[in-house]
């Protein structure tokens, strides 16, 4: 695969009247995400136009649209500012002139291949020991758990990490999936009732001791239907979450299926040798359905 950089630019929100600096205070709900990589999506659209038309028409429109969007989410064009001493909390700070870096790149890969539902090359990493406990972490919305509860319209992070634990012996058995669902559900049920645990940040300290190589990480949500994102080109042909391609634990993605309201698209990223084994087991189990 070869790629060619078409254009790179900085996109800023439109100038504000009066205020030259905006800040958004961060809480400990935000801190845990500093060590996580951001979720990266690719939306594939069929757009049968020439490269010249794309450069002269589409790119300026996208930059203008992004600028107008940043007007309503201005701090996202800023930077995380950390205090020089430990007495203050980090904050998301925007000052006039801050902007978002946006590159436009052309690649020579086959579009029809990219939108297929099939395995594609990712990375190869060394398999980990199999005799350690599995630790299925999940994120729970605690807005309604607080007293008084936060409004559903609250624009901020109020997610809590819930850690659950089960043995590998149980999880690889015939009832493994059911056991996993029960363990995770019970952890959410018990810990989300503990308001003190939520507010005193003890859930964060518990999560910090988790061995990330023993985790199953799931990105995305069927509640965010990106197949409805239309820039004027129609609906996407395919959506991929490429940030699940990493060497820490096992990564999956879940999104709403393009052509059905009740079905899901599930993506899985594994080293090549483990993916081959998974595919063989998966196909074997499907033969019994």
How far CA 142 is from CA of 153, 193, 266, in Å, comes to 13, 10, 26
Contact, 122 vs 245, CB < 8 A?
Answer: yes
Question: What pLDDT score was predicted for residue 67?
Answer: 94
Distance CA 132, CA 155 (A): 39
pLDDT higher for 92 or 173?
Answer: 92
Give residue 248's pLDDT band: very low, low, confident or very high (50, 70, 90).
Answer: low
Question: What pLDDT score was predicted for residue 175?
Answer: 84
Give residue 54's pLDDT band: very low, low, confident or very high (50, 70, 90).
Answer: very high
Give residue 20's pLDDT band: very low, low, confident or very high (50, 70, 90).
Answer: confident
Question: What pLDDT score was predicted for residue 98?
Answer: 93
Residue spans in the chain of domains classed CATH 3.30.559.10: 1-108, 120-129+211-289
CATH superfamily of 1-108: Chloramphenicol acetyltransferase-like domain (3.30.559.10)
Taking residues 271-286, report their average pLDDT. Answer: 83
Would you call 283 exposed, middle or buried from its count of C-beta atoms within 10 A (0-12, 13-18, 19+)? Answer: exposed
Q: Please tell me the pTM assigned to this model.
A: 0.76
Q: Is the pLDDT of residue 155 over 60?
A: yes
Place of tokens 């910090």: 208
CATH topology of domain 120-129+211-289: Chloramphenicol Acetyltransferase (3.30.559)
Q: Is the pLDDT of residue 132 over 80?
A: no
The edge-to-edge listing of strands for the beta sheet with 91-95 is: 21-25, 91-95, 79-81
Taking residues 102-111, report their average pLDDT. Answer: 89
The tokens describing 161, both together, are 């990490």
Contact, 255 vs 265, CB < 8 A?
Answer: yes
């Amino acid at each position: 695969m070869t790629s060619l950089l078409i254009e790179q630019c900085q996109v800023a929100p439109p100038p504000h009247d009066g205020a030259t600096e905006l800040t958004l205070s961060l809480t400990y709900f935000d801190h845990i995400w500093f060590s996580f990589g951001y979720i990266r999506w690719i939306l594939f659209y069929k757009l049968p136009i020439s490269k010249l038309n794309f450069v002269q028409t589409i790119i300026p429109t996208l930059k203008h649209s992004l600028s107008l969007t940043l007007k309503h989410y201005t701090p996202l064009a800023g930077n995380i500012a950390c205090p020089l001493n430990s007495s203050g909390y980090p904050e998301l700070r925007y000052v006039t002139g801050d902007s978002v870096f946006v590159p436009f790149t052309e690649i020579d890969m086959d579009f029809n291949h990219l939108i297929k539902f099939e395995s594609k090359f990712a990375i190869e990493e060394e398999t980990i020991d199999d005799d350690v406990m599995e630790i299925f972490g999940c994120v729970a919305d605690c807005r309604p758990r607080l007293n008084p509860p936060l409004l559903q319209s609250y624009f901020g992070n109020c997610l809590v990490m819930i850690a659950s634990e089960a043995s590998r012996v149980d999880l690889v058995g015939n009832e493994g999936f059911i056991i996993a669902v029960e363990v995770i559900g019970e952890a959410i049920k018990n810990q989300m009732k503990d308001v003190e645990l939520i507010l005193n940040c003890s859930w964060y300290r518990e999560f910090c001791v988790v061995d990330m190589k023993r985790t199953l990480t799931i990105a995305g949500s069927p509640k965010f239907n990106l197949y409805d994102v239309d820039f004027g080109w129609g609906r996407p042909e395919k959506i991929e979450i490429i940030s699940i391609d990493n060497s820490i634990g096992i990564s999956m993605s879940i999104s709403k299926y393009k052509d059905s309201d009740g079905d899901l698209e599930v993506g899985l990223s594994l080293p090549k040798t483990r993916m081959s084994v998974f595919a063989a087991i998966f196909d074997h189990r499907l033969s019994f359905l």
